[in-house]
Structure 1
Amino acid sequence: MTIETTRPTRPGEWLDDTKIGLSGLGSAPADFQWKIPTERYTSPEIAAQERELIWTKTWQIVGRVSALAKAGAWKTYQLFDQSFIVVRGRDDVIRGFVNACRHRGNLLCAERSGTSRQFLCQYHLWSYDLEGNCRGILREGLSGVDKSDVSLVPVPVETFSGFIFLNPDPDAKPLAEYLGPEVFELLRPYQMEQFITVMDVEEPLECNWKVVMDAFQEGYHLWGVHPQLLNVIFPDPETGRYRFLGDHSVATTPFDVPRGEHFGPEEQVAGIRKLPETFPAVPLMLPRFEELVAEYRGEDGTLAFPDGVTARTLLQRATRDTLTGMGLDVSRLTDNQMTDNQGWVLFPNFFMTVRAGECHITMPTPHPSGDPNKCVWHVASYMYLPEELAEVAKVEPTVVTEPGSHTYFEALQQDYEQMQRQQAGLRNSRLKYETITREEIVVAAFHHVLDRYLDGARS
């Protein structure tokens, strides 16, 4: 007797379920924001509304759990003129506090990161333990102050997928509720908590933070800004899939080297070999990929793929084999997730492309000055690497203080330059709105969510 077995459903299979998500360009919700007022990017009044209605009330990623690996490791997070400390306590719990002494409000941590056994205020030498409790008051017997009344002011902090989230709102709902169960379910199988940092750069930009978010939520600009990528990535909005999860979203277009009469097997393979210029994890997969390609090369050197086999499917096999061999469990990821970047938007300011073994993030925040024509962007890349390689590849954060002094990899450099050009155009007073196309459906969705938050200022 034959017993039929079925493969357990994996979260990434939502792409193959016609009842989930949107497919193609014809199904975009009519109430999405297709005309975006340009004042949204330039108005100090709108920037002030965003500060009150968005930035003080939402969960924001402030770093990686791995950056606070040991008790006493801390980092600061700056949001406008508000400063917070995130620290790992002796009990191994990561907590957040307002970065101010409870005595006279002196800044406790003036640097970006460090390691301490306690927090000592340099003004009057009050001290606090890593859990925020006041432990020492100078000349305590004469102070008239009860130490139990002057613990550091707590701020909600939680972790997920290796990222540290902070919410300035003391009454914030739990992170799991804010993101929703589907976000947790879809992202967990990537096991990003095991990834290490291979790029980490922060730099002020001459553009609004939403210009950055908009730029990374669509592939429509590849033709104008990244034409070199069209040799290896050809976005097809008709086959793209979109899933909107409350305030957040995920979208993907099947990755494939362009095919047609001029793109046979050799051209497909050549395209894969160019991917390391954009995706840092691909070199790890190439040795296995070349082994698989060789199986389809005839004695005369001719490469021929049978039906069902492409350079893409071979890269999928190579990626699964390589990552499994290095110790990463990818059994809950689909074949598509081996090669296809899924673009995630976690409102308000987190954009991530992720596939098996690597992810890349862009996080813009408003400029501390509050100037709507400026922001600070944080770009980073993370990869899964075995321990011996991780020690060599991991990097420390780079903070760029002189504009234009840092050179990004080619595609990111092109975005860096383009976004600041766009802000210059948006400042023209006669231009009243942007017109969003159906190929930019995720941008339209993002501004639809933004509208809902800003409605609080109009109600």
Structure 2
Amino acid sequence: MNVEAAKPGEWMNRASLMSEVDFSAWDMRIPTDRYSCEDYAERELAQLWMKVWQIAGRAEEIPNIGDWKVHKIQDQSFLLVRGKDGQVRGFVNACRHRGNRLCEGKGNGSRFTCRYHNWTYGLDGKALAIAHPDYDGPLEEFVAPKQELGLIPVSVECFAGFIFLNPDRDAPPLATFLGDAKDVLAAYRMDEWVAVGINVREEMACNWKVVMDAFGESYHIQGVHPELLGLSDTSRERFEVFGDHCVATVPFGKVCDDAEQERQDILNVPTEQFPLYAEVLPRFAEVIETYRDADGKLVMPAGLTPKTLFQRAIREQLTGKGYDVSGLTDTQMTDYQYWLFFPNVFIQVCAGDATVIVNEPHPSGDHNRCVWHVMFLQWVPESERAAKTEPVKTMPAGEHYPYHWVLQQDFDQMPIQQDGLRNRLYTEMLLTRSEPRVAHFHAALDRWVQRVAV
């Protein structure tokens, strides 16, 4: 897709309705061995995880010079560090001498010293000191010059406040991988957002792709989240493809010609699921009352509805706090976008906040388990970001974080699907026309893992 609108988010008004989506390019029968087959998992590691750009955390996790953290992709370990120039770099988490693991967890320092033989590296990965370099003659005479003995680098770039890592040093730059999605997401200025409230890593009893499937469709609302029925009309859902990524949006609120009913629907929105609205609803409730006539009837002037008034209130609220929303459309004030960001990220984003779920294969290699990282991101004034940033909380094995009811319903449901997928006689899933994001995700996955031609 070529985004040429004045505001990138205007694609939303032109994207295909669900009834218009062309399914001919996708296989609607998905083999289930990808959820439980060891051979598939091995090919997935080699062909996908070791070659694709992927989120390795938020930049605010390592905000200061010398801050570092370890990021793992199954049994592969990488070191992310903020250098003296403020840039984030990535390295293989292994000493160049004999491969000893350098770090675990996260920390801060001016250098990295291997505890095995005391080889030492700078924040830029260069070798600083080598114990007994002249014991049997200069090391460079029979190994390599010192400048070639630094840590093995991996490609790292930052975008929208996220740290992206790619183990394949021959991969195209991140901008190429993001494609047109880069402009749409950049308009939210997510580099100014921080994790608040929820920032949790936790094991789940399902394959990472089960999580992507679950958050790739709204079809399950009627079964898993019946409380959300009536909040929107999913027949108006729009869908768009951005390379390997895809996104859908459902217009906020139900179709309604009754201003009084539309007002009430807005006031009844569950703010625990859509926290952006919570701050604005009191002001909206106050302002809309000024449009009542002498008989108490709600009368809106031409071109104004309760929804557009709500959008105006959100824009004014965010602008007044210092958040630049000039690059966002009116619909982006109220209408959440639901991204499946390939390969393993779900983003529910609106002006000023987002729920992000990063789904990773379990480090043990067990394809019946995964680790998900749930974070609620919000725009916060720069002066308040350090104080309000919620650090990552990793739940110990066997313990569970108490999510709000919608997310908890999803958390409870997904292991049930994984149990069903283990059945050996159940060889393929069957998708419906309500699931274009799921179909597109698996087509992209096939192109990487199976190397299927486009």
TM-score by length of 1: 0.91
Aligned-partner SS, 2:23 = coil
Structure 2 partner of 1:9: 6
- Cα distance in 2 between the residues matched to 1:230 and 1:307: 30
CA distance in 2, matches of 1:265, 1:187: 29
The gaps in structure 2 that reach 5 residues or longer are: 141-145
**What are the residue-to-residue correspondences of 1:73-222 with 2, within 5 Å?**
73-111=67-105, 113-142=106-135, 144-146=138-140, 147-180=146-179, 182-198=180-196, 199-222=198-221
Q: Is the 8 A contact 1:257 1:271 kept in 2?
A: no
2:418 matched residue in structure 1:
423
Shift of 1:447: 0.7
Supply the distance in 2 between the matched residues of 1:36 and 1:150 (Cα, whole angstroms). 46
Distance in 2 (CA, whole Å) between partners of 1:262 and 1:294 is 12
How many Å separate the matches in 2 of 1:269 and 1:359? 19
* Distance in 2 of aligned mates of 1:419 and 1:260: 38
Cα pair 1:265 1:304 within 8 Å, conserved: no
How much does 1:394 deviate?
2.2
Supply the distance in 1 between the matched residues of 2:259 and 2:11 (Cα, whole angstroms).
Answer: 33
Question: What is aligned with 2:24?
Answer: 30
Q: Secondary structure at the match of 2:429?
A: strand
Q: C-alpha displacement at 1:100, in angstroms?
A: 0.7
2:251 aligned residue: 254
CA offset at residue 66 of structure 1?
A: 2.1
Q: CA offset at residue 160 of structure 1?
A: 0.9
- Deviation at residue 308 of structure 1 after TM alignment: 4.6
- In structure 2, the residue matched to 1:295 is 290
| Amino acid across the alignment from 1:445 | H
* Letter in structure 2 aligned against 1:168: P
Residue by residue over 1:321-347, the C-alpha shift from the partner in whole angstroms, topping out at 9 and shown as x without a partner, is: 011101111111101100111112221
Query: Which 5+ residue runs of structure 1 have no aligned equivalent?
Result: 1-7
Give 2:358's aligned residue: 363
The answer to whether the 8 Å contact 2:18/2:434 transfers is: no
Aligned to 1:264: 261
Q: 2:69 and 2:212 mapped to 1: Cα distance?
A: 25
Residue deviations 1:74-127 (CA, integer Å, cap 9, x gap): 11110111100111110122110000111121111122x111111111122211
CA 1:69–1:388: 2 relative to 1, 3 Å? closer
CA RMSD of aligned residues (A): 2.2
Deviates more, 1:41-50 or 1:392-401: 392-401
Question: Residues 343-362 of structure 1: CA distance to partner in whole angstroms, max 9, x if unpaired?
Answer: 12221111111111111111
1:65 has 2:45 as partner: no
Q: Report the Cα distance in structure 2 between the residues aligned to 1:261 and 1:322, rounded to whole angstroms.
A: 26
**Distance change (3 Å), C-alpha of 1:229 and 1:388:** farther
Distance in 2 between residues matched to 1:235 and 1:145, nearest whole Å: 70
Q: Is the alpha carbon distance of 1:145 and 1:284 closer, same or farther for their aligned partners in structure 2, counting shifts above 3 Å?
A: farther
Matches of 1:89 and 1:38, distance apart in 2: 44
- Decide whether the 8 Å contact of 2:68 with 2:81 is kept in 1: yes
How many residue pairs get aligned? The number is: 442
**Whole-Å separation in 2 of the counterparts to 1:325 and 1:332:** 16
What is the distance in 1 between the residues matched to 2:211 and 2:57?
19
Match of 2:236 among 239, 243, 259: 239
**% of aligned pairs identical?**
43
Question: TM-score, normalised to structure 2's length?
Answer: 0.92
